[in-house]
A = this chain, B = another copy of it.
């Protein structure tokens, strides 16, 4: 992507030179950042409880640079961590970023990556306060840790009660269909390099995959509505997997309704084109970074007409298990699929802060 442009080797700058070079492009947005990049440690004033989460993204496991632009990758690496902070019903404020870089990467490539990191920091008004940059024999590693100040109402994965309503923000399955599309075009390109990729009309699902957003707006909206979820998780590994976490930590089962699952028309149509079941894509796709949470029935009226929220089901007793009620009213047990990096090598996100 950058092959015809200027290429500066990282060893021309050295590690500290590279850091100085990148530091110049980091803007701070929060008064709470007392000491940022450039000392042994950073100092941030969060005036109370600190919420923190960390994730590692590895080339060949979590991303494929054949179709992921470095700027998008930097943006996504930040956003996926901010999403974990949101999943505690909390607003993120600071991040650290550690990079492992093989000598395949030039200074210009690292700048592209940082352009994405800085863009995410700007968009979410989050401060980059430290990190580590080191060489890596093989490919690119990005490890991000995100922090936030705990709100009065920090929400955990546990805490749901029977009959409470299951709500998701946004829509599901789009990121997965974006990935399918990119993988298909990669195969076509490998076979016939002269063919231009056919990605037209699919901006929405491509953006869901390449440039996801953290639902900071949902946390703010819930706070404004006076709704405190009773349990919450972000959808990184797929709805089914996250339902398992919520149910297991709250010691409950759940029932969700196929006809309630929010699926964007582009996602639906692309799934059909790929001969996939849109419901399965929404259930097991992953990487949507939407929020899944439970609310008391009494809070239903506050959310029911808002476009960002969809009630997809409710919590049941543990013995009922996790079930999907299909459009023709059949009840199917839900199974968690595709979330294990050690048994498959899909491009899905690893679990968050655990």
Residues of A within 8 A of B (CB): 10-11, 14-16, 18-19, 23, 34-35, 37-56, 58, 60-62, 84-85, 87-88, 90, 96, 98-100, 103, 129-139, 141, 143, 145-148, 150, 154, 156-157, 232-234, 249, 339-343, 345, 350-354
A340 partner residues in chain B, CB cutoff 8 A:
11, 14-16
Q: Is the CB of B134 within 8 A of A40?
A: no
A103 partner residues in chain B, CB cutoff 8 A:
342
Q: Is the CB of A354 within 8 A of B100?
A: no
Query: A15 to B62, alpha carbons, bound, how many Å?
Result: 14
Q: Is the CB of B40 within 8 A of A352?
A: yes
Q: Is the CB of A132 within 8 A of B40?
A: no
Closest 10 CB pairs of A and B: A40-B87, A41-B53, A130-B353, A143-B143, A134-B350, A11-B342, A138-B138, A56-B98, A135-B341, A40-B84
Query: A13 to B41, alpha carbons, bound, how many Å?
Result: 36
Q: Is the CB of B341 within 8 A of A40?
A: no
A134 partner residues in chain B, CB cutoff 8 A:
56, 58, 61-62, 341, 350
A51 contact from B41, B87, B100, Cβ within 8 A: B41
A28 CB to closest chain B CB (Å) equals 15
Q: Is the CB of B350 within 8 A of A137?
A: no
Contact A141:B58 (CB < 8 A) given known A340-B15, A354-B39: yes
Query: A304 to B270, alpha carbons, bound, how many Å?
Result: 74
19 contacts between A and B (CB under 8 A): A11-B343, A14-B343, A19-B351, A38-B249, A39-B156, A40-B53, A40-B353, A41-B87, A42-B52, A43-B150, A45-B48, A46-B50, A52-B145, A55-B132, A58-B100, A61-B136, A62-B134, A131-B354, A132-B143
Contact A52:B353 (CB < 8 A) given known A103-B342, A134-B62: no
Query: A123 to B145, alpha carbons, bound, how many Å?
Result: 24
Query: A240 to B176, alpha carbons, bound, how many Å?
Result: 51
Q: Is the CB of B143 within 8 A of A41?
A: no
Q: Is the CB of A147 within 8 A of B50?
A: yes
Q: Is the CB of A50 within 8 A of B53?
A: no
Q: Is the CB of A135 within 8 A of B345?
A: yes
A52 contact from B41, B58, B133, Cβ within 8 A: B41
Query: A150 to B137, alpha carbons, bound, how many Å?
Result: 36
A47 partner residues in chain B, CB cutoff 8 A:
48
A291 CB to closest chain B CB (Å) equals 10
A81 CB to closest chain B CB (Å) equals 9
Query: A195 to B232, alpha carbons, bound, how many Å?
Result: 58
